[in-house]
Amino acid sequence: MLNVHRLTLLRELHRRGTLAAVARDLNYSPSAVSHQLSQLEKEAGVPLLEPVGRGVKLTDAARMLVSRTDEILAVLDRAEADLAASTPTVSGTLRVTSFHSALATILPTALTLLSARHPDLRVEVFHREIGAAFDGLAAHLYDLVIGDQWPDEPDPVRPGMERQELFADPMLLVMPADRPEPTEPADLTELADARWAIDPEYLPGGRWVRRMLAQAGVVPEVLCDTDDPLLQAHLVRTGHAVAVIPSLLVGSFLDQTRALPLPGGPARLLYTAVREGQTGHPAVRAFRAALASAARRESPEI
């Protein structure tokens, strides 16, 4: 019989292209991945890999197996959800991945609510960039992604995954308290001389902020290129930069600063995503309910 874990490794090799990438992203050694795939080849009874230069590529039989693996894993997800729903308590381990501002605000409140409502449920939290988060969700490394979608950026949720909206989080222009105040909503051209703390350009938020500034005719002088909004806020608070910060961080994170709405009131959309087969899992439903309650408590816009 074919081993499901080994099928998953074959699928990840198809997605990532090299044994080294699979090993790196799934925390194995390349030799361990190679050994597992050799064992799968013995189980299958047909060649699955063939050498190409220093690497390998999948045979036609291997690609057929990969196409079936998605179906197999989806069935197993639904079976696991059904089994969990047959018990009277919400228990087990839920692996959640998220980004900075959610980790610093709504997630701790959600964990507090969950510990009171479902003490037998264990939550493990991983801070990951959005691409790595969805790679991990597809690879069954994580069970749920707390994600955000920025204006004019594509939906990162992939086929075979289910998205549930949380709320829209308006973006604010945040300045040191002693900086001369621009008009409201903020006229970005008045900040042509400012130094900025801004997300890297390879991230959706960084691309969006740069597009917004370019449309206003502003070429930002970047003091700090960082994806950490708390560091951005600290640089603003200490008088060194201006930044675009989500409303979710309004409060103690933005004390001693002045925040103004941006033209047009842009907002990012916060959501959760799971594999479709896990939508009805009691742990997923309990976590989503706690997160929604936390969002109502912590977001100034709800």
Residue 249's contacts (CB-CB under 8 Å, 6 or more residues apart) are 101, 104, 105, 229, 230, 233
Tell me, yes or no, whether 158 and 274 share the same domain. Answer: yes
Q: Over the chain (302 residues), what is each successive 10-residue block's mean pLDDT?
A: 89 89 85 91 91 87 91 92 93 93 90 96 93 89 94 88 94 86 72 92 92 92 93 92 90 82 92 95 97 80 50
Kindly state whether residues 289 and 159 are assigned to the same domain. Answer: yes
**Whether 99 and 174 share a structural domain:** no
Chosen domain end from 42, 60, 83: 83
**One domain, residues 272 and 157:** yes
Q: Which of 112, 137, 164 is nearest to 272 (CA)?
A: 164
How far apart CA 117 and CA 119 sit, in angstroms, is: 6
How many beta carbons lie within 10 A of that of residue 14, not counting itself?
Answer: 17
Total structural domains within the chain: 3
Q: Which residues pair with 56 in a beta bridge?
A: 51
Q: What is the per-residue pLDDT for 102? A: 86
Return the structure tokens found at 71. 């179906």
CATH number at residue 26: 1.10.10.10
Q: Domain residues for 47?
A: 4-83
Taking the CA atoms of 257, 258, 263 and 266 in sequence, report the sign of the dihedral they define.
Answer: positive
State whether 116 and 152 are in the same domain.
yes
Say which residue the tokens 């013995």 belong to. 42
Distance CA 108, CA 65 (A): 41
Same domain, 133 and 280: yes
160 and 43, same structural domain?
Answer: no
The CATH number of the domain holding residue 124 is 3.40.190.10
Last residue of a domain, one of 60, 83, 106: 83
Q: Alpha helices of the chain — where are they, by DSSP H?
A: 4-16, 19-26, 30-44, 60-85, 100-104, 106-117, 130-138, 204-215, 229-237, 282-298
Q: In angstroms, what CA-CA distances link 56 with 42, 62, 156?
A: 17, 12, 29
Q: Give the pLDDT score at 302.
A: 47
In terms of domains, do 137 and 252 share one? Answer: no
Of 29, 58, 83, the one marking the end of a domain is: 83
Q: If you search the block for the tokens 């204006």, which residue do you land on? A: 151
Indicate whether 48 and 98 sit together in one domain. no
Pair (162, 28) in one structural domain:
no
283 and 92 Cβ atoms separated by less than 8 Å: yes
Angle (nearest 5°) at CA 261 between 183 and 104: 140
Residues 206, 263 within the same domain: yes
State residue 153's pLDDT score. Answer: 87
* Residue 242 contacts residue 166 (beta carbons within 8 Å): no
Same domain, 163 and 282: yes
Map residue 218 onto helix, strand or coil.
coil
For residue 185, say if its preceding peptide bond is cis, omega within 30 degrees of 0.
yes
